[in-house]
Structure formats: C-alpha cells, structure tokens
Amino acid sequence: MKTRSYWQLLPYIQSQWQTIAQALACTLAFAAFSPLLAWLAGQVAKLLGQGDVVAIARLMGVSAVVFLLRGVVQYGQDTLMAKAALQIALDLRQRVYAHLHKLDLIYFETAQTGDLSYRLTEDVDRIGEVINKVFHQLVPNILQLLVLLAYMLYLNWKLTLAALLIAPLMGLLITWFGERLLAFSRRSQNQASNLSSLLTEVFSGIRLVQAFTAEEYEVQRFGQEAEYNRQIKYLGERVKAIQIFVVGFLQALSVLLLFWLGGWQIAQGDLNPSEFVSFVTAVALLFDPIAQVTSNYNEFKQGQASMDRVFELLHLQPRVTEKLDAIKLPAIAGKVEYRNIHFAYQRHQPVLQQLSLLALPGEVIALVGPSGAGKTTLVNLLPRFYDPQAGQILVDGIEIQSVTLKSLRQQIGIVPQETVLFSGTIAQNIAFGQTTFELDQVKAAAQVANAHQFICQFADGYQTRLGERGVNLSGGQRQRLAIARAVLLNPRILILDEATSALDSESETLVQEALERLMQGRTVFIIAHRLATVRRADRILVLEQGRVVESGTHAELMSCEGGTSRYARFYAQQFPA
C-alpha cells in the first residue's frame, strides 16, 4: 500500500468517510471477539478436566452469544464496506468517463475503443474490489493479528517469540511474490485490453469480414490473442500456487516448533494444559488472517496494474481547452473569418498553410479539392475539434478561443458523411444531446428533413428503437435523421461534410431537398467531391496542399483561364463532354 497509485484514491475514499467509519467500528468490535474466543476455548478445556457439566453448558451459552454478536458486527462490516467501495468505483468511473469527453479528437483518432471500454469496466471494477478488500478484509485481519498476538504475548511471551521466528522470512517471500504478480498482472491487463480491442474492431466491421470471407483468418487471429492471454494468466497462477505452498510449509514448521516448545514447557511446569490449549487456539485463529493478508497483498499488486491504467487516463490533458475567463458566445449572425491559419497534425507536415477566408452571414461556401488538401481539417477547426498552431478564427468578430466550447458548438450544426446513430429511439436520436425535448418539435424537424414519412411507416413511429449504429435503416434514412438533428439544433453555422456521397439517386434527391431547406438563412460550409452538389454555392474555394488556390462562383471558375482552371478540370473529369 506504499504505492503512489493507491494514494490517488484518497479523495474518493474521503468522500465516503462516514460509511467507512461505521464499517471500521464494526471491524474493531469483530477483532475484539477473537481473543475472547481463544480465552473461552481455554476455559472449556479446563472445565472438561474438572467434569463440571453445568459450568460447561453455561460457558457454551456465553460462547453462542459471542459468536452471534461476532456475526452481527461482521454483517455490518461487510455490507457497509461493500456500499462504500461500490460508490467509490462509481465515482471514479463517472469521473474518468467525463474526463475522456474533454479530450480532443486527436487522442480518440489513435486510442483503441476496446481498450478504453476495458479500462472503464473491468479495471474500475477491480479497483472497487481492492478498495472493498482493504477495509473488508485487510484492516480486520491486521487488527485481528495484532489483538491475537497481544493475547499470545500475555499468555506466554517465549512461545509467541518462537512462533514469530519465521515471520520475517514469510514477509520477504510475500513481498517478492507480490512484485512478480504485479509484473504478470500488467501484462495480463494489457493483453486483455488487446483482446477487447480486437473484438470491438471485428464486430464493428463484420460486414467486411464476411464480404472477404475472412472469418477463418479472424478466428485464428482471435485464437492467438486468447492463447497469449491464457499463457500470461497461467504464469500468474503458477506464482500464486508456489507462494501458497511455500507460505503453508513455513506455517506448518512454526506449528511443529510450537508444539515441541509447548510440550517442553508443560514438562518443565512453566505452562499448564489449559493455557496451552488457549494459546494453540489463538495460533489457529491466526492462520486465516495470515492467509487473507497474503491473498490481499497479491490482489493489491494485481489491482495496482488496473489503478495505473485508469489514472493514466485521468492524467491525460486535452490540447483544446477553455480559457479561465472564457465568455459565453452570444447569438450570432454567422460571419466566419479565418486569418492566416497554419495547422499540422505532425510537426513539419503542415495541412493548412497561411490560409485566410471570410464567409458572410447566410453565405454558402463550397470547399473542393483532392483528398488531403485540408478541406475537412479546415471545417474541424471551426468548432474547435482542433486548434491551429498559428492564426485566428473569428465568429461575428469574436475569437473562438475566447468563448466557451459549449456556447460555440451549440451554434454550429454538422451533417457528416457517415451518420452516427446511438442506441435509443428515433426521437432520442433526432434530439440527441437534449435531456428534455418536445415531440412536436422533433416531428417538425423530421418533416423539414424529409424523414417524417418513413418514420411513420414503423409500427412504433418516433418511439422505434434503432439497432446498433442504426443498421436497420438505409443510408438515405440515416442521413435524413442527421439532417433532422441539425434542424432541431437550429444553428447559425452549418457544416455539410460529403453529406450526399454514397447515396442512390432517389435518396440523394430527398436528402438534397432536405439540405436546401436546412441551408436557408445560414452560413454554410459544404465539402463535396461530387461537384454537382456545389454548383449553386455562393462561392467555391479550391484547396490544394492546405492553401486556397482558386475562389469564385461555378460560372466564374468554369470560365476562368479559358476553362482550364483547376476547378474546370475537376468538373470535366466528373462530367466529360
């Protein structure tokens, strides 16, 4: 428990101090009964020698009451500590989950989803179990050891010292084995996370796996990862088994030594049989606490790996943060200005270079260009998914880094290329992010998005529960739900990222109609490789290597340079004469 990892739990433990204090009161009472039981055993042995049946019956009654009271305080200790430990685990899990939401997209683009899920579930659960056992088992067992040792010293200090001769060696062995278990546990936790990540990856792409008949390959890959996991766990179990054998053997040696010395002291007249029975009973009562402390220490070492993995997430710092004096962005008209923006995901590999542009309120700006030109990066800077290394972005003349993230993002709507739907009803997905909403407003938004008709075809209508990622909907239906979501948000700035790509002609027509309604009166940024969707934009910007190389309307760019502009060449490739 000297590890820094466990001290990080102190604030969470302090929040439950009242419950823990009550549990510890029960623990103290439980420990106090141990020497009393040892004393009663000695008295029973004494009365058996005298043959006093009445006195023995009376003593049995007292013993029964002691066992009853001991059970009551043990129940209080167990339930109170379970309550505190579960609440601490819940608080920690919620804090980690909330902290992850503060991290920027760069982290999630490289993090493994399965690994994050494992840390928030299995690792946090293990931490809760460790906390429970600290107060539920370790503290009571240590108190019981101390009380019993004090009683043993009181009875016969020579026998007690003899019984403790092997204790230092046992302590060293337990520590050594614990360090080995920590190493194996870290490897095991990492391997389990890899296994969880593999499952998440495969199940999310199961359609591709089946399309390429890669089932056998994936089963083999899973088998290899599972085998690595088994091997690491088996090595840890072998270490624990060796530890149990060695510690058990040392305990047996100490008992044999104890009986030899006890017999010698009785023969010398320095110890009577009833005291020896009481002493042996106290020693017997020590075995379980010693075994529990050994087991707890092993589990604490294994739990340390989980502790490190969970708090590693809490120590991550987001690159995109709010200023301490950030203000709330007022209702905006929709003027957007980029000033000399420079951005790179990796040093010396710029994505945007000295880029500047001005979008007036209600203006529709289309961004075109080859893949990797920086179109998506450009619009992702506006809601501050990333921050540029140089330059400024202003909305209605207010620098976006000076306002709160929530007030900024609430006034920006995004319709992505791939619609993300969550478990829940259709209504909940349209009103995503709103804890309370009016169903009439949801229906109105769906009507604007050309979604109302297909929603009503479901038996449960707006209360229809969607499958994972909305797999029970077509691509066009999912896209119209995304548009309805943006309509309900009613943003002043709208980002359409390849919103009509990969749709059939009928779905594209319905989606395009919905988008035109959504775009009315808003500042809009459109990213599209299909140039048919951008011809009516107020201005088209052609990006190459992070710079705006051409700007104008469709007609202007088609006639520019005698019809040989970059935009004209792009257009000719898609619509050959």
* pLDDT, tens digit, 9 for 90 and up, residues 433-491: 887 888 999 999 999 888 899 899 988 899 988 866 666 788 788 888 888 888 888 89
Tell me, what's the pLDDT at 394?
95
Residue located via tokens 């478990």: 423
Q: Which candidate, 204, 223, 8, places its Cα nearest to that of 112?
A: 204
Of 59-63, 301-305, 377-381, give the range with the top mean pLDDT: 377-381
Q: Which of 314, 347, 374 marks a domain boundary?
A: 314
Q: What are 570-573's contacts with CB under 8 Å, separation 24+?
A: 570/368, 570/531, 570/542, 571/531
pLDDT at 551 over 70: yes
What CATH number has the domain bearing residue 194?
1.20.1560.10
Tell me, what's the pLDDT at 210?
67
* pLDDT, tens digit, 9 for 90 and up, residues 328-350: 999 999 999 999 999 998 888 88
Cα angle 401, 402, 404; round to 5: 85
Total domain count, the chain: 2
Which residues are CB-contacts of 73 (< 8 A; sequence separation ≥ 6)?
Answer: 26, 27, 29, 30, 33
Residues 129 and 182 in one domain: yes
Return phi, psi of residue 371, to 5°.
-60, 140
Q: Report the 10 Å Cβ neighbour count for 415.
A: 26
d(CA 339, CA 355): 7
Residues 305 and 403 in one domain: no
> Residue 111 has which token pair?
């993090």
Query: For residue 276, is it within any domain?
Result: yes
Query: For residue 94, is it within any domain?
Result: yes
Tell me, what's the pLDDT at 398?
94
Tell me, what's the pLDDT at 1?
38
Residues 353 and 295 in one domain: no
Residues 260 and 333 in one domain: no
pTM: 0.70
* pLDDT, tens digit, 9 for 90 and up, residues 391-436: 999 999 999 999 999 899 989 988 887 777 877 889 988 888 887 8
Query: For residue 255, is it within any domain?
Result: yes
> Residue 323 has which token pair?
């200023």
Q: Which of 270, 289, 314 marks a domain boundary?
A: 314
Tell me, what's the pLDDT at 115?
81
Residues 183 and 275 in one domain: yes
Query: For residue 62, is it within any domain?
Result: yes
* DSSP secondary structure code for residue 374 in this structure: S
pLDDT at 507 over 80: no
* DSSP secondary structure code for residue 450 in this structure: T
Q: Mean pLDDT check: name the lowest of 3-12, 97-106, 365-374, 542-551.
A: 3-12
Tell me, what's the pLDDT at 513?
80
pLDDT at 388 over 90: yes
Query: For residue 481, is it within any domain?
Result: no
Residues 332 and 309 in one domain: no
User: What range defines the domain where residue 544 resides?
Assistant: 328-411+493-500+525-577
Residues 287 and 352 in one domain: no
Residue located via tokens 């604030």: 11
Tell me, what's the pLDDT at 381?
94
Residues 90 and 226 in one domain: yes
> Residue 495 has which token pair?
């980002």
Q: Which residues are 395's β-sheet partners?
A: 336, 398
Q: Mean pLDDT check: name the lowest of 85-94, 463-472, 501-510.
A: 501-510
Query: For residue 230, is it within any domain?
Result: yes
d(CA 296, CA 289): 10
pLDDT at 276 over 50: yes
> Residue 408 has which token pair?
């900024």
Residue 248 confidence class, pLDDT cut points 50, 70, 90: confident
H or E element that contains 452: helix 452-456
> Within the chain, what is the greatest distance between any pair of CA atoms?
123
Residue located via tokens 């902290």: 99
Query: What are the CA-CA distances from residue 110 to residues 24, 105, 116, 312, 334 (Å)?
Result: 44, 9, 11, 15, 33
Tell me, what's the pLDDT at 504?
58
Tell me, what's the pLDDT at 390?
93
d(CA 294, CA 48): 36
Give Cα 93 distance to the centre of its chain: 7
pLDDT at 525 over 90: yes
Q: Which of 314, 348, 369 marks a domain boundary?
A: 314
Query: For residue 216, is it within any domain?
Result: yes
* pLDDT, tens digit, 9 for 90 and up, residues 200-239: 777 766 666 766 677 787 788 888 888 887 887 788 778 7
Q: Which residue has the higher pLDDT, 313 or 132?
A: 313
What CATH number has the domain bearing residue 539?
3.40.50.300
d(CA 377, CA 351): 8
380 class by beta-carbon count within 10 Å (0-12 exposed, 13-18 middle, 19+ buried): middle
Tell me, what's the pLDDT at 3?
43
d(CA 281, CA 284): 5
Tell me, what's the pLDDT at 208?
64
Residues 288 and 339 in one domain: no
Tell me, what's the pLDDT at 51?
64
pLDDT at 503 over 70: no
Query: For residue 416, is it within any domain?
Result: no
Of 139-153, 187-201, 254-268, give the range with the top mean pLDDT: 139-153
End-to-end alpha-carbon separation of the chain, Å? 77
Residues 243 and 205 in one domain: yes
Q: Return mean pLDDT, the chain.
A: 81
d(CA 13, CA 19): 10
Tell me, what's the pLDDT at 49?
63
Residues 128 and 192 in one domain: yes
Residues 355 and 236 in one domain: no
Cα angle 313, 227, 107; round to 5: 20
Residues 387/323, Cβ–Cβ less than 8 Å: no
Give the 3-state secondary structure of residue 390: strand
